[in-house]
A = this chain, B = another copy of it.
């Protein structure tokens, strides 16, 4: 009976996720990305493969002109420095002012005091969604340094569930914790997305790339940020599952994942989607 309900729900989730992806492909939303250097190639290619239009624009001189024309904004602090911080804050403020959704990726939030302070300043600027791994969300929720080991998580997503809910309540952001099961919460509801394959963690910046994809999905459904976040995570994960069928290692997985994202069809979305209530 429960199984049937789960299946029923996934049929609905699948249709909704498919519609969201179709919307991205049709409307081709312009997504401004202020992101780390490592991620730029895979992030831009992920957005293009999904049908969105990426623009890596970070000069503070351009934000007044450019940010209002973007449909969504992705801010990723991976290779943070003071000059970029100024741009990130200006763009986040401008997005908030223009009522455009923006998504924060607090890469390695707990790796240094400097990084944590900048994260907290960005969180104050009201991100629509915050996506990180468990170590990052734990660090950010607790404003604690030293818990993050570089950029890779030393926790599983469920370790960070309470922290994520608390962070969501406090900031009014949707918070997504990536992991074997991605947990997504608005502070009340919690959804789990179980798409994806472990080898994706061996490709640099896949987390960054999916954050940008969340920005694209949420840009077109700002009032359904929880669901749109789940759909972006699910779609990216499915592309990884399909890619894994042909992959021989992380580099070929990366290629097949992007190809699969580009070619993703309704049948695959409906058959592969794996979203469930998590509580």
State which residues 219-265 of A face B: CB under 8 Å: 247-252, 254-263
A114 contacts partner chain B, Cβ-Cβ < 8 Å = yes
User: Which of A59-67, A98-106, A123-131, A155-163 has 4 or more CB atoms under 8 Å from chain B?
Assistant: A59-67
Min CB–CB distance A147 → chain B (angstroms): 11
Select which of B69, B111, B252 is within 8 A of A57 by beta carbon. B111
Min CB–CB distance A125 → chain B (angstroms): 20
Do B204 and A41 touch (CB < 8 A)?
yes
Do B61 and A112 touch (CB < 8 A)?
yes
A271 contacts partner chain B, Cβ-Cβ < 8 Å = no
State which residues 66-115 of A face B: CB under 8 Å: 66, 69-70, 78-83, 108, 111-115
The distance in angstroms between the C-alpha atoms of A79 and B58, with both chains bound, is 7
Do B53 and A78 touch (CB < 8 A)?
no
The distance in angstroms between the C-alpha atoms of A263 and B203, with both chains bound, is 14
State which residues 181-226 of A face B: CB under 8 Å: 202-205
A138 contacts partner chain B, Cβ-Cβ < 8 Å = no
The distance in angstroms between the C-alpha atoms of A69 and B66, with both chains bound, is 37
Do A145 and B65 touch (CB < 8 A)?
yes
Select which of B28, B37, B250 is within 8 A of A49 by beta carbon. B250
Given A45-B251, A204-B45, A258-B250, decide whether A81 and B58 contact each other with a Cβ distance below 8 A. yes
Do A44 and B38 touch (CB < 8 A)?
yes
Provide a sorted-by-A list of 9 A–B residue pairs whose CB atoms are within 8 angstroms: A30-B150, A45-B254, A62-B114, A81-B83, A248-B259, A249-B258, A250-B262, A252-B255, A255-B255
